[in-house]
Structure 1
């Protein structure tokens, strides 16, 4: 039966209402799924690698740098952690301190501090470097007392003199002990000085070098995750 034309607007309104009712559950389901995905993402704890070009993965792809390799290890254990690579090439302890607050908008569960190498290569006074490292650590501790901090120890060649390089090496252990943070004795253990594991500049690790760096980090990080 053909409806008179005068009823057409009512039929159209009814169809529109029926369509809207059918769409609403689908929209609600989609919103619920999106909300759940967002909650899952925000529920993940973060591991923040705060460092210089070593952390950033200078000269290689970021996914080959050791923080990304640590993410792979974390994922393989089914742990809910997101690794954030906050490495910046050329970073000194002073510039790191100046940008710290930007990375502390949200609480990191674990904070790995990898800075000081550029200070040493530039011959910056050890007192200045130590002060900045301590201020970075205290800045994290004051804002997030429950955050676990790991300090990555560094060594430099004796270009600035044997005494400077030796005191530079000892500085990290002293800082870790007096601030009660974990210490990786030497981040580049087994990598530094090996031409097969470093780029032509002799400073930055290759992909294979970064795999070894990840192995150096993992024994100190893993117990903090479980």
Structure 2
């Protein structure tokens, strides 16, 4: 009888340990960084990408979070729209949505870019997945009219869907050659660190706004 009682207690304790482990795992926020090469970490090691550095920064501030990198180099908003359903899996607690830079570089109509981003936001809303929208700015060589139409997309959609907006992903990097790769378009590891530092307050506020995972 003593042996059976001891075995019973071992089973109970083991169950409690594993149950606690699963409970802790269930509380981890699962985020997805959905975007183009700026999100993917073009020519950078995986640990140097925006999502990796951001996850490290959030964990250092006490947040239990995992950020999946769903960035695809060269992606436009049309490409993002075509893959968003399967690139953002069920169980995702929040999405950092960053697309549009390649649309501007290719001269895609701002109206089409807006339509694609609108559809992505609508699909995520249907799935009850909160979004932090990340804005971009059109390059000056596209002209003033194009720039005004393009730059207005992000605050307009943020207001329409009542989602937080981080206005410019390359803030603090775009005019600093020492923070860029040789192509003068993509950030290097130090540039990404600046992007993380600049965007961290907005991302942290977004993380704090998310419902506690069950």
Q: Please indicate, yes or no, whether the TM-score normalized by the shorter chain is above 0.5.
A: yes
Give the drift of 1:38. Answer: 5.1
Q: 2:70 maps to which residue?
A: 86
Correspondence 1:157-196 to 2 at 5 A: 157-196=139-178
Q: 1:218 maps to which residue?
A: 200
Give the drift of 1:150. Answer: 0.9
Evaluate the alpha carbon distance shift between residue 31 and residue 50 of structure 1 in structure 2; reply closer, same or farther with a 3 A threshold.
Answer: same
Q: 1:11 maps to which residue?
A: none
Identify the range of structure 1 (130-139 vs 173-182) with the bigger mean alpha-carbon deviation.
Answer: 173-182
Give the drift of 1:32. Answer: 7.7
User: Are the counterparts in 1 of residues 39 and 71 from structure 2 also a CA contact under 8 Å?
Assistant: yes
State how far apart, in whole Å, the 1-side matches of 2:40 and 2:175 are: 20
Give the drift of 1:104. Answer: 3.4
Give the drift of 1:216. Answer: 2.1
Give the drift of 1:91. Answer: 0.8
Give the drift of 1:133. Answer: 0.3
Q: Which structure has the larger Rg over C-alpha atoms? A: 1
In structure 1, runs of 5+ residues without a counterpart are 1-24
State how far apart, in whole Å, the 2-side matches of 1:183 and 1:42 are: 27
Identify the range of structure 1 (99-108 vs 37-46) with the bigger mean alpha-carbon deviation.
Answer: 37-46
Give the drift of 1:33. Answer: 6.1
TM-score (norm 2): 0.85
Match of 2:96 among 109, 112, 119: 112
Q: CA offsets, 1:40-90, max 9 Å, x none? A: 434412121100000011011121122111111221133221111111101
Give the drift of 1:137. Answer: 0.6
Give the drift of 1:112. Answer: 0.8
Structure ranking higher on relative contact order (CA contacts 8 Å, 6+ apart): 2
Give 3-state SS (helix, strand or coil) of 2:152's partner.
helix
User: Are the counterparts in 2 of residues 158 and 164 from structure 1 also a CA contact under 8 Å?
Assistant: no
Q: CA offsets, 1:142-170, max 9 Å, x none? A: 111xx321111101212222211222112
User: Are the counterparts in 1 of residues 131 and 163 from structure 2 also a CA contact under 8 Å?
Assistant: yes
Matched, 1:103 2:87: yes
State how far apart, in whole Å, the 2-side matches of 1:27 and 1:207 are: 49
Q: CA offsets, 1:99-125, max 9 Å, x none? A: 111133323222111000001101111
Matched, 1:66 2:54: no
Give 3-state SS (helix, strand or coil) of 1:190's partner.
coil
Match of 1:122 among 106, 114, 117: 106
User: Are the counterparts in 1 of residues 164 and 206 from structure 2 also a CA contact under 8 Å?
Assistant: no
TM-score (norm 1): 0.80
State how far apart, in whole Å, the 1-side matches of 2:81 and 2:26 are: 26
